[in-house]
Chains A and B, each alone.
Chain A
Amino acid sequence: MMQNTLDIAIAQARQNNAAQIDLLTMNIGELSGVIPEALEFAFEVLRWGTMAENAQLEIKTIPVVCHCPKCDRDFQPEEYIYQCPRCGTTSSKIIAGKELELASLVVSS
């Protein structure tokens, strides 16, 4: 997964004629199933010998947001049980929290 991220990052940096990557910012949803520490660990190993060798990795954790069909409103669940705080309906409609994205790069030449 970190390899995919690095591949995308390096391709993008090359397209922009950059010589090195200084910062990678990722959005990782709380419900993505991915543990940020695992990504950080993989990054430490994989960055060597690439143009991201000296880069920092910044991981933004995205909280879960659900939609309640009854109230037609979004809410942030407290726990892994997605109960609407207004009406108590359990919702399985997830609006945010599944992200696994490379958000942006800072590169230099």
Chain B
Amino acid sequence: MCKDCGCNIIDNVVDPKTHQHKIEIERGILSKNDRLAEQNRNLFKEQELLVVNLLSSPGSGKTALIERMQVERSLLGTNNLNLGVIVGDLATDNDAHRLQHRGISAVQITTGNACHLEANMVAKATQQLDLNSLDLLIIENVGNLVCPAAYDLGEDLRIVLLSVTEGEDKPLKYPTMFKSAQIVVVNKIDIASAVEFDRERAIANIQKIAPQAQIFEVSAKTGQGIKLLLAYLAEQLKIKPSIQPLHG
């Protein structure tokens, strides 16, 4: 013990006159979230549930994509991919209602002024779902391409959604988010030509920033491309134990 001030660190004294000490910490400031995310991940593993963290700017079509997946999933045949959803939003619970209308079990998390979901919120929301009956749990994150990137929720896969109205340079503007995704979905391709979307450039940008990502081009409105995405997710469910989380 330091005899001057009774503090139990005697190394690293910066200035003995003022009793200043340096304490080395080297601790992740989100270590609490990471620990809770790991607990979620263990729960999802026991349940043999594929969990997807769905991320985009507001209005890219996250909710619409999930609705369309529900409509198309029966067309896949034997593998029915029972769907559950946790929706994060700043204020309203409209999205959960929209999804429930489609017969999807959906739980809303209202985050108030938090601009992202955290692992503890997801843990709480899962208690309201019958995980046993689900194969695929989609977590619709708060519409934001910055803050949610840092928060592991315990998911297997991240899908970043980008709609054709948002411009081809979006991946260059939000590299952290795109680099954390295993899947990038380009949505609203039904209106691509109307908004003069430069497909080649957009795809090239995604590939440059996120070479690891699998790319799907879809329309949540017409259903184009959705079956391929569903088939890919069904495949991922089968190989779930071997999926490596990209972040954290």
Using a CB–CB distance below 8 Å, which chain A residues touch chain B? 1, 4-5, 8-9, 12-13, 16-18, 22, 26, 31-34, 80-82, 90-92, 94, 98-109
A-B contact pairs, 15 of them (CB 8 A): A1-B30, A4-B32, A8-B27, A31-B176, A34-B150, A80-B175, A81-B209, A91-B211, A92-B211, A100-B29, A100-B150, A102-B27, A103-B25, A104-B24, A109-B19
Task: Give the nearest-CB partner of B212 in chain A.
Answer: A92
Q: Is the pair B18, A108 in contact by a Cβ cutoff of 8 Å?
A: yes
Q: How far is the CA of A103 from the CA of B24 in the complex (A)?
A: 6
Extra contacts, 18 of them, besides A80-B175, A91-B211, A101-B25 (Cβ < 8 A), are A1-B150, A12-B23, A17-B8, A22-B20, A31-B179, A34-B150, A94-B179, A101-B26, A102-B27, A103-B24, A103-B25, A105-B25, A106-B20, A106-B22, A107-B7, A108-B19, A108-B20, A109-B7
A91 surroundings in chain B (CB, below 8 A): 211
Q: Is the pair B20, A107 in contact by a Cβ cutoff of 8 Å?
A: yes
Number of interface residues of B (CB under 8 A): 36
Instruction: With both chains docked as a complex, state the minimum distance between the C-beta of A51 and any C-beta of chain B, in angstroms.
Output: 13
Q: Is the pair A102, B25 in contact by a Cβ cutoff of 8 Å?
A: yes
The answer to whether B91 has its CB under 8 Å from any CB of chain A is: no
Instruction: With both chains docked as a complex, state the minimum distance between the C-beta of A27 and any C-beta of chain B, in angstroms.
Output: 8
A101 surroundings in chain B (CB, below 8 A): 25-29
Q: How far is the CA of A94 from the CA of B172 in the complex (A)?
A: 17
A9 surroundings in chain B (CB, below 8 A): 25
Q: Is the pair A26, B21 in contact by a Cβ cutoff of 8 Å?
A: no
A1-B150, A26-B29 are contacts. A106–B21 as well, Cβ < 8 Å? Answer: yes
Q: How far is the CA of A80 from the CA of B169 in the complex (A)?
A: 12
